[in-house]
Structure 1
Amino acid sequence: MNLAFHKILKEDFCKALPLLQKLMKNQFSDDILMQRFEEMFEQNYECWGVYLDKELIGIFGLWFMTRHYVGRSCEPDHVFIKEAYRSKGIGKKVFTWIYEYAKSRGCEASELNSYVTNYPSHKFYLNEGYEIWGYHFVKKL
């Protein structure tokens, strides 16, 4: 399997948008997502594409920050692999790449959020060695 990881630049984000919309179940318009990602690219955020040969089969974002409870960390966000490519070991390869990249950026931990109803991801993340330390709360203002 010839996997490659390429950074998706702000000006090329429209290539990743269809995959993000599948993950988000078209909750938001393309315009809203483009506007939000425009801001995200200015906030210690990177977007990456997962390519099999030359086909974009997945995306993920990475946030870099320092937290008082774990130090410098990398947070994978909106990880999505096209359905036809799931259960083929690609997720494991994606996260192996993320860990190595995060270490090269000086990170000592990885943390993430997962929707409470996304049970397959919970199993995957637990198998990757993530531990559940708390709940993520959101209040719309």
Structure 2
Amino acid sequence: MAFVFKIIEKENINLVIPLVQKLNGNKISFEVLEQRFSEMVNQNYECAVILDEEKLIGACGLWFCTRHYSGKSVEPDHVFIEDDYRGQGLGKKFFKWIYSYALSKGCEAVELNTYVSNSASHKFYFNEDFKILGFHFLKKL
């Protein structure tokens, strides 16, 4: 199979919303995500996707920033690959592409958050040599 990894154009960002809804168990409406993504694409955010031919099968948001403790970094966010494509090494290839892309943008580090309940992702990230640095806290206002 010839998969394509690329950055999706800002004007096509809504194409990833159904994948993000699956990742979040359809807890956030399309309309809310549409509004949020319209704001995100105007910040330090890009979205990488995986295509199988023309079919969108995976997505990963990329937040770029500079932090005092890690330098210029990228934070992969809402990483999702369709169920039928999992367990085939595609995630590893996707992250290899992401690392290369981040290096081309001058990044020194990759850091991310993952849901506590997503143990499959924990195993994947440990296998990618990520280390647990701290806890992510959230308080809704």
TM category, shorter: over 0.9
Q: Deviations over 1:82-136 (max 9, x none)?
A: 0000000000000000000000000000000000010000000010010000000
Q: Deviations over 1:9-55 (max 9, x none)?
A: 23212221111110111111111101011111111000121012222
Aligned residues: 141
Gaps of 5+ in 1: none
Gaps of 5+ in 2: none
2:50 is matched with which residue?
Answer: 50
**2:95 is aligned with 1:95:** yes
Cα distance in 1 between the residues matched to 2:139 and 2:18: 27
Alignment of 1:74-93 (within 5 A): 74-93=74-93
Tell me the TM-score normalised to structure 2 length: 0.96
What percent of counterpart residues are identical? 57
Q: Deviations over 1:65-89 (max 9, x none)?
A: 0000100001011000000000000
**2:20 is aligned with 1:23:** no
Q: Shift in Å at residue 6 of structure 1?
A: 2.5
**Aligned-pair Cα RMSD in Å:** 0.9
**2:120 is aligned with 1:120:** yes
Runs of 4+ in 1 over 6 A off after TM superposition: none
1:32 is matched with which residue?
Answer: 32
Tell me the TM-score normalised to structure 1 length: 0.96
